[in-house]
């Protein structure tokens, strides 16, 4: 991050903030401050230029209002791309979604359709607190020491039971590894694959995984997705070793991978050693119509599928408990090579969750949330009806988000911007793809789980009216 060497003329009538604003704008337009550059903090720039922080704030605010800068909580000020600007280097606006995580800082946003948020008001605090109280007890002092590297056997047993009853997936607790989030589990998994392993990820797809794999030196190929799900020819054309898929509910399209494609995918993996499929079964708990779809892994006779599950959507994201079910060959290698890693999840939390599941509270919670989420989804669909000429739902109507295709003449960034001006935050579809170019018509991802039922009507109506030209 460079300091801005702006020369301020205190002798003119032009206010200092305006001079600073013009200076920075010029630096951006003429390419000397490139897209995503971080600007100095207000305090540092004020110190450097011997002006007040208010002056810097006024300049920054103006630039934000005009779309040259964006302010990210706890990160700072960054140069934003804008279609009017000419850059020295090509701008990859999709490279860095920068989704804010801190809900306390959304003071300018009233309604946030964040795709990762869940309904927090209906979490069974009393139950969880009761089990926490019982677990945090002197008689359980052995829980303070490190436990099994794969995670507590009691929790793995509950997960094994759950997977069998709820997902039709048979696996033993021995094949399950618990970790503090999908990213943590994936990082371990990556160590089991050869260093020159080539990865394939759905594109559009789960951007967190995309970004994570790209922070490694391995090659990562985008794999085409259509209305049946991932295109297996795309895999055959790019020839990765390991593919990352969301077959139960494609993220973000929502597509369920067809039986044909599942068979093709498994055949592809079986054709060579060292080929694996990572199946991310996020939010499979929330289907509102039709039968639950068994995971790809339940069709896997050749031990090619690594199954990833998480309590982030079904329970709470901040609990940080996820799990993977390894095929036997990888389990052996995990135990030989990686079991010196201690489990990344607090044993106390694992026991609380195991108890919560054993007492039936998890099942009750899921049933309750399924009803609530279905109501929210139905509400949105109903509110969308009057706008069906311009706004249509793309893909499946399940899970905790939907994708809207908006044909009102606005571009994707205009849709996001216009919503923001009405204090509504929505998420651009392009953030989930590797930069194939804009969708036509533009698409928006709408997470509805995190908005309360009471606010859903006004949030959705505000959004839809603001999109009317």
Shortest Å, Cβ 77 to a second copy? 13
Nearer to a second copy, 116 or 270 (CB): 116
Q: For residues 343 and 398, which CB has a smaller minimum distance to a second copy in the complex? A: 343
> Cis omega (within 30 of 0) on the bond before 252?
yes
At closest approach, how far in Å is the CB of 205 from a second copy?
Answer: 14
Of the pair 46, 208, the CB lying nearest a second copy is at 208
Q: How far is CA 161 from CA 143, 151, 311, 353, in A?
A: 23, 16, 15, 14
Name the burial class of residue 80, with classes exposed (0-12), middle (13-18) and buried (19+) by CB atoms within 10 angstroms of its CB.
buried
Backbone angles phi, psi at 427, to 5 degrees: -120, 130
- Least distance CB 121 / a second copy (angstroms): 6
| Residue among 197 and 298 whose Cβ is closer to a second copy | 197
Among candidate residues 387, 378, 395, the one with its CA nearest the CA of residue 448: 378
CB of 7 to a second copy, least distance (A): 26
First to last CA, the chain: 40
CB of 129 to a second copy, least distance (A): 4
Region of 303 (left: φ > 0; alpha: ψ -120 to 50; beta: rest) is left
- Nearest CA to 275 out of 229, 238, 325 is that of 238
Identify the CA nearest to 253 among candidates 68, 432, 48, 56: 432
- Least CB distance from residue 211 to a second copy, whole Å? 5
Q: State the minimum distance, in angstroms, from the CB of residue 188 to a second copy.
A: 9
Q: Which is nearer to a second copy, 262 or 355 (CB)?
A: 355
User: Distance between CA atoms of 98 and 361, rounded to whole angstroms?
Assistant: 35
Q: How far is the CB of 114 from a second copy (least distance, A)?
A: 8
Under 8 Å between Cβ of 84 and 29: no
Tokens linked to 226 = 């259509």
Q: Nearest approach, Cβ of 352 to a second copy (angstroms)?
A: 9
Considering the complex, what minimum distance in angstroms separates the CB of residue 71 from a second copy?
14
**CA dist 92 → 63, 412, 428 (Å):** 20, 15, 14
Q: Any idea which residue has 């009538």 for tokens?
A: 13
By the 8 A CB rule, do 339 and 150 touch?
yes
User: Quick one: 150 or 284, whose CB is closer to a second copy?
Assistant: 150
DSSP-derived letter for residue 303 is S
Nearer to a second copy, 211 or 374 (CB): 211
Nearest to a second copy of 309, 442 (CB atom): 309
Nearer to a second copy by Cβ, of 5 and 318: the residue is 318
Among residues 136 and 271, whose Cβ is nearest to a second copy? Answer: 136
Tally of helices (H runs) and strands (E runs) in the chain:
14, 17
How distant is the alpha carbon of residue 111 from its chain centre? 18
Q: Which helix (H) or strand (E) holds 280?
A: strand 276-280
Q: Report the distance separating Cα 106 and Cα 457, nearest Å.
A: 20
Of 185, 157, 158, 160, the residue nearest 171 (C-alpha): 160
């Amino acid at each position: 991050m460079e300091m801005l060497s702006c020369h301020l003329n205190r002798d003119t009538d032009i206010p200092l903030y305006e001079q600073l604003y013009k200076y920075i704008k010029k630096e951006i337009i003429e390419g000397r401050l490139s897209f995503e550059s971080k600007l100095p903090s207000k305090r540092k720039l004020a110190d450097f230029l011997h002006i007040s922080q208010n002056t810097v704030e006024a300049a920054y605010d103006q630039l934000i209002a005009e779309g040259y800068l964006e302010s990210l909580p706890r990160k700072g000020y960054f140069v934003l791309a804008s279609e009017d600007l000419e850059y020295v280097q090509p701008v990859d606006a999709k490279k860095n979604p920068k989704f804010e995580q801190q809900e306390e800082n959304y003071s300018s946003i009233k309604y946030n359709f964040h795709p990762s948020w869940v309904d927090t008001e209906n979490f069974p605090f009393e139950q969880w607190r009761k089990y926490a109280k019982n677990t945090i007890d002197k008689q359980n002092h052995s829980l303070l020491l490190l436990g099994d590297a794969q995670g507590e056997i009691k929790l793995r047993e509950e997960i094994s039971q759950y997977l069998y009853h709820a997902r039709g997936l048979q696996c033993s607790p021995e094949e399950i590894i618990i970790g503090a989030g999908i990213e943590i589990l994936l990082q371990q998994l990556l160590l089991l694959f050869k260093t020159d392993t080539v990865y394939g990820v759905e594109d559009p797809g789960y951007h967190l995984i995309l970004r994570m794999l790209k922070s490694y030196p391995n090659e990562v190929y985008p794999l085409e997705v259509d209305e049946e799900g991932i295109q297996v020819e795309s895999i055959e054309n790019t020839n990765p070793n390991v593919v990352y898929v969301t077959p139960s509910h494609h993220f973000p399209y929502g597509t369920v991978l067809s039986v044909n494609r599942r068979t093709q995918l498994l055949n592809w993996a079986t054709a060579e050693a060292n080929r694996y499929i990572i199946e991310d079964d996020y939010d499979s708990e929330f289907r509102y119509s039709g039968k639950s779809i068994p995971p790809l892994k339940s069709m896997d006779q050749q031990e090619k599928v690594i199954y990833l599950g998480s309590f982030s959507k079904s329970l709470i994201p901040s609990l940080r408990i996820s799990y993977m079910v390894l095929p036997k060959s990888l389990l052996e290698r995990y135990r030989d090579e990686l079991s010196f890693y201690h489990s990344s999840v607090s044993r106390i939390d694992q026991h609380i969750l195991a108890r919560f599941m054993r007492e039936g509270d998890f099942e009750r919670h899921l049933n309750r949330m399924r009803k609530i989420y279905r109501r929210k989804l139905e509400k949105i669909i109903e509110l969308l009806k009057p706008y069906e000429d311009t706004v249509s739902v793309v893909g499946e109507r399940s899970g905790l988000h939907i994708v809207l295709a908006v044909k009102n003449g606005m571009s994707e960034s205009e849709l996001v911007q216009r919503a923001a001006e009405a204090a509504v935050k929505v998420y651009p579809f392009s953030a989930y793809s590797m930069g194939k170019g804009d969708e036509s018509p533009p698409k928006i991802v709408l997470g509805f789980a995190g908005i309360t039922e009471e606010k859903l009507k006004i949030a959705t109506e505000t959004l839809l009216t603001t999109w009317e030209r």
